[in-house]
Structure 1
Amino acid sequence: MHSLPSVSLLVAVRNEAEHIEDLIASIKAQEYPADKLEVIILDGGSTDGTREIVKALIKEHANYRLIGNPKTIQSAAWNLGLDVCRGEIISIVSGHVILAPDYVSKAVATLQRTCADMVGGTIRAVSATRVGEAIALAMSHPFGVGGARHRYTEREEETDSVFMGFCHRSVYEEIGVYDEELVRNQDDEFSYRLTKAGGRILCNPEIKSYYHSRSTYQSLWKQYFQYGYYKVRVLQKHPKQMSLRQFVPLGFVLALLLTSLLALFTPWGWFALVGLVGVYTFANLLASFLIAKREGWRYFWPLPLAFATIHLSYGLGFLIGLFKFYNRWNDKKGKVPQVSLD
């Protein structure tokens, strides 16, 4: 036990009163030795009582710290945590997850066994409502998220990114910190810089955490709209980071707009529009049917709308981002105007 490395968990939170108690309880329940675990909670100006809840939960734990994050966004929180943490191994943590008791132990063991530069587990989304559960299923299925294998792989394998990655301090010293220009996709952008430098990222599904997915279609739309919107800046900074799957929602939205426009002027435009919508609807319903057959028929009707929300919001966000950042293709470091849908 004495040879185990020290670990720092950097928890970025903002208005997480609903979930923060479960997260902290799961951290306290870790099998990893408490004297080897440092927990830094970085609050981005919560107004729902999150800070007060955290203070009450950590007041008797010397290895827990609560620090304010004046810039509010996750990337700034993680960078602030990197400045003050002391662990040999560092992991970023979302504010709305629950960690399995062996979460840290499995991650550290995987790092040591594989000598990978970053390791993490698959995302297991959960929710307390039927719509939220359907959203969780959609976010964990290839039809919903394409080739993002770190969201659903069932075997240990190298991936282009992982959820809440663990890596040695030396990785940050070599690669740099998180890009504070990005409100979304900042961990994916960091992962790209790591792999571009020759680093290996490994996803081990035995590293288990449970993510509280969005519980309404509106909140899911906001989330994926921002993913698409800020992905444009990632594309402008790192063109080679983008894969074909990340352009598919944009292509779908453009095809819908084009065929809708043509349908106003030509008869064959209607056929093209109906054909496009028909093919998508068939694929959507088929994926929803297969999931519902396995997970329960109560999910069959919420799933198609969850899939459509993910695809349309991401594609539309990407399209608007292209217009918003049309003159930024040579700007690799400039500040991004933040988009808020609250």
Structure 2
Amino acid sequence: MEKLDRAAAPVHRPGGGPSGLRWTEAPPGVAVVACVRDEEAYLAEAVASVLVQDYCGPLRLVLAVGPSHDATAQVAAELAAADPRVVVVDNPTGSRSVGLNLATEHAAGDDQVLLRVDGHTVLPTDYVTRAVATLEHTGAVGVGGLMHPVGTSTLQRAAARAMSHPAGIGAASFHVGGEAGPSETVYLGAFRRSAVEAVGGYDPSLVRAEDWELCLRLRRAGGLLWFDPALQVTYRPRRTLRAVAKQFWRTGMWRREVIRRDPSTASVRYLAPPALVLGLVASALLVAGGALAALPAVVALGAALPAAYVVGVVAACAHATGRRPRLGLREAVVLPAVVVTMHLAWGAGFVRGLTARAVADHRA
């Protein structure tokens, strides 16, 4: 990778204009890669945010388009026809890991940085410039920042708040923020292409959790991953409660698969949702058994966990609602249902585990 002038700190100028970074040599080529399917509603916005970047070096966007139930392929083709920087490749498997590897293969040979986006994201105009600068200043093999969920409907706004609160999907820095520094993983990420290719790219056997698993191999190969909260990416959450449940169910299944392959990757954050699901099932059995046997003490014992969970969810949602900007009344009412759906769908998917049907459903 060509060197940045290290005296030029990656500072952001108000208003979203060029960051003022100086290059000692020609800036590296950047291939923005994405795997998309069923993204008709968001793809044009996502692509537009890439094409208006203030980056002063070569930049191209490679879209790996999977089988969709909407007009995603048509939208992608129209976007490619309108701008030569956009390239479309077919991803018949629909798998994200396979699609991202295909996109990488179709990137130009001199592109030294791989920067991932997806169909639900919108980049600020200085994102690519800052990401490449951060790679250079830190010496990291991969950098990433904050997922900034933004919704346009009541359910989406509630989901966005849940996804950016520790009670929603954990306290990972890319969800809730924190200080810049070394990280276990990065959200989406900008990577040195040589480092990604050295570890074999994304694992094609993984449909979900492929990003986390790639970061694990990069770290084990001696690479540094870096979190920079100034790198913020707008993310559009799912639009219905059913879609949220489906998303988290699949994520839970694939997280179990990652842990099955490598038990050392297990953590409290990943094991808490399945433990909750199993605990609630046990509580229901205790309540039912105690009621049938007319044992009030057993009923009370069985009801303890569900009651504590409800209190915890209500308290967490009250805290999340009060964060600035405050949620509206409708979003506040919907928020507990969204949080519970995330927890239980993720946990139930983990308990159920990966099945051949799950893989087939993903590719359908």
1:273, distance to aligned residue in structure 2 (A): 2.8
Query: Does residue 337 of structure 2 align to residue 305 of structure 1?
Result: yes
1:179, distance to aligned residue in structure 2 (A): 1.6
- Give yes or no for contact 2:165–2:171 (8 Å, CA) kept in 1: no
> Residues 269, 148 of structure 1: CA spacing in aligned structure 2 closer, same or farther, 3 A cutoff?
farther
State the alpha-carbon separation in 1 of the partners of residues 360 and 78 from structure 2. Answer: 33
Match of 1:289 among 318, 322, 329: 318
Identity of aligned residues (%): 29
State the alpha-carbon separation in 2 of the partners of residues 221 and 192 from structure 1. Answer: 27
Post-superposition Cα deviations, 1:213-250, rounded to whole Å, max 9, x if no partner, equal 01211110000000111111101112111211100001
Q: Counterpart in 2 of 1:331?
A: none
Match of 2:67 among 14, 25, 45: 45
TM-score (normalised: structure 1): 0.91
1:96-111 pair list within 5 angstroms: 96-111=120-135
Q: Secondary structure at the match of 2:257?
A: helix
State the alpha-carbon separation in 1 of the partners of residues 52 and 62 from structure 2. Answer: 16
State the alpha-carbon separation in 2 of the partners of residues 296 and 45 from structure 1. Answer: 36
Query: Does residue 175 of structure 2 align to residue 151 of structure 1?
Result: yes
Query: Does residue 320 of structure 2 align to residue 320 of structure 1?
Result: no
State the alpha-carbon separation in 2 of the partners of residues 337 and 16 from structure 1. Answer: 20
State the alpha-carbon separation in 1 of the partners of residues 147 and 279 from structure 2. Answer: 31
State the alpha-carbon separation in 2 of the partners of residues 117 and 273 from structure 1. Answer: 49
Which stretch has the larger CA shift, 135-144 or 237-246? 237-246
Which one-letter code corresponds to 2:263 in the other structure? P
Query: Does residue 208 of structure 2 align to residue 208 of structure 1?
Result: no
Query: Does residue 302 of structure 2 align to residue 273 of structure 1?
Result: yes
State the alpha-carbon separation in 2 of the partners of residues 130 and 339 from structure 1. Answer: 32
Q: Secondary structure at the match of 2:68?
A: coil
Q: Counterpart in 1 of 2:14?
A: none
Which stretch has the larger CA shift, 66-75 or 150-159? 150-159
Highest CA radius of gyration, 1 or 2? 2
State the alpha-carbon separation in 2 of the partners of residues 63 and 336 from structure 1. Answer: 37
Q: Counterpart in 2 of 1:329?
A: none
Query: Does residue 362 of structure 2 align to residue 338 of structure 1?
Result: no
State the alpha-carbon separation in 2 of the partners of residues 196 and 125 from structure 1. Answer: 30
- Give yes or no for contact 2:287–2:303 (8 Å, CA) kept in 1: no
Match of 2:95 among 56, 65, 73: 73
Q: Counterpart in 2 of 1:7?
A: 30
- Give yes or no for contact 1:159–1:201 (8 Å, CA) kept in 2: yes
Name the Cα RMSD after superposition.
1.9
State the alpha-carbon separation in 1 of the partners of residues 194 and 270 from structure 2. Answer: 30
Which one-letter code corresponds to 1:160 in the other structure? E
State the alpha-carbon separation in 2 of the partners of residues 63 and 292 from structure 1. Answer: 42
> Residues 108, 188 of structure 1: CA spacing in aligned structure 2 closer, same or farther, 3 A cutoff?
same
State the alpha-carbon separation in 1 of the partners of residues 28 and 84 from structure 2. Answer: 18
Match of 1:116 among 137, 140, 147: 140
Which one-letter code corresponds to 1:6 in the other structure? G
State the alpha-carbon separation in 2 of the partners of residues 63 and 265 from structure 1. Answer: 64
